[in-house]
Chain A
């Protein structure tokens, strides 16, 4: 029972990281209607930047995270402006291939700057841990912080898109760009802002991910990126609460699958569940069925 609880909490923690990454995927998809496959690599850049800030500049962890967020935000806006914006009217396949290209570009830049040798990510938050059941159940501060960060981000984003003028404008753009433009909303700027938010979240996810799994190399972001994309589809791509639920479920399924079914098949199990969900609900758990306008 205690071990189940331990696995479950680990699952929630990993799922929280997936959820934060998935938010980036889902927001960009919701607004720009494109899959930004370079999103996972922005996570990796965020992790490297925070690593360098702590290791070489001796900055305190909180400040390092902030550095990573700033760098990733700028990176996200530049990627959108240089790579995706010129393709706004192009076929979606061209955009998709460009996104894959950007992904490889970022990985190779990281390879050039930081080499392929894995770096050991330092423990960011060494505040101690909570012990329950006579010390049998250990919840690390990283785990708690990850879950906490996820909750805070979720609430903040919900308030932002539901209450603020800019957030509402974002929803308007995601529904109908032409009509949004008629309202006086600058669509390009709104898309930039979405990339900025998604990339800042990716930086946070990078730090949290590497705090839990401290091996950092140029490919660090790709697998979590793909899993988070899966989580976004699972929850219903375009939906913010969907990304949250999809991420958490994916994390729990992955950890429990590895623990109780097979370590090797853990990832396969994740995708098997995705396929089953999509068979019964093609738009994902919280996704809205797409209806074409006549």
Chain B
């Protein structure tokens, strides 16, 4: 059954019609990826799903619940976590404090076990536990942002450009972690510019043109499609 269903949303920035009727769904246990060029509206779509932006029309249903009008600060407690573009970790707070913020909506007794889980998945973060997040490298900050999102034990983890600005070896590491999370049962909605990488781990994919979905289907088919290859995968 579909965990997330987005139906014909239209989003505006002032007078600019950024999202012109996008529909897609994410089923429980899937990795779904939204790929597309810069400015296609990928992040806008994710931010709308997370409640940071309000669509002018259309609907977002998560876990059988209508999400329109639910403030962003309530979304996380319903089981949806967004790991935002550019990571946006709290630079002046320690690694541990960042993770604690990720578990903000959960009861205090559940924080410690979740911290242990995150540290098990990201041993690097354990080593840097008391360090201020601003001193971490880009890859470590991405791990922290993902760990922070996992602290809320989300049913749906949304990742916005996790590979941005990372060295190829780190990109591979991050994608390995995404696959691991998926195997552990987390449903993932992944937005990426690195289409090749995203398609290689995803179950299904949606290709975004400017504000519209131009193509969708199983990730392997999209990966093999000539038009996609020409537009996003460099031939």
Contact = CB atoms under 8 A, between A and B. Distances in A.
B93 A185 contact: no
A264 interface: no
B90 A172 contact: yes
B100 A175 contact: no
Interface stretch (A52-60, A145-153, A176-184): A176-184
Contacts of A165: 100, 104, 108
A185 B92 contact: no
B104 A184 contact: yes
Nearest to B86: A293
A182 B72 contact: yes
Nearest to A294: B86
Interface string B57-76: 00000000000000111111
B66 to A, nearest CB: 19
A262 interface: no
A171 B73 contact: no
Contacts of B97: 168, 171
Interface stretch (B23-31, B77-85, B112-120, B167-175): B77-85
A187 interface: yes
B82 to A, nearest CB: 5
A183 B93 contact: no
A179 B88 CA distance: 6
B100 A176 contact: no
B152 interface: yes
B88 A183 contact: no
Interface string B88-103: 1111110001001110
Interface size class of B (residues with CB under 8 A): 20 to 34
B52 interface: yes
A184 B77 contact: yes
Contact of B76 (A172, A182, A187): A182
Given A168-B100, A169-B101, A182 B82 contact: yes
A193 to B, nearest CB: 14
A55 B97 CA distance: 47
A293 B52 CA distance: 19
Given A168-B100, A169-B104, A178 B52 contact: yes
A182 B86 contact: no
Nearest to A186: B73
A186 B77 CA distance: 12
A185 B101 contact: yes
A131 interface: no
A168 B93 contact: yes
Interface string B2-21: 00000000000000000000
Interface of A: 165, 168-169, 171-172, 175-176, 178-187, 288, 293
Interface of B: 50, 52, 71-77, 81-82, 84, 86, 88-93, 97, 100-102, 104-105, 108, 148, 152
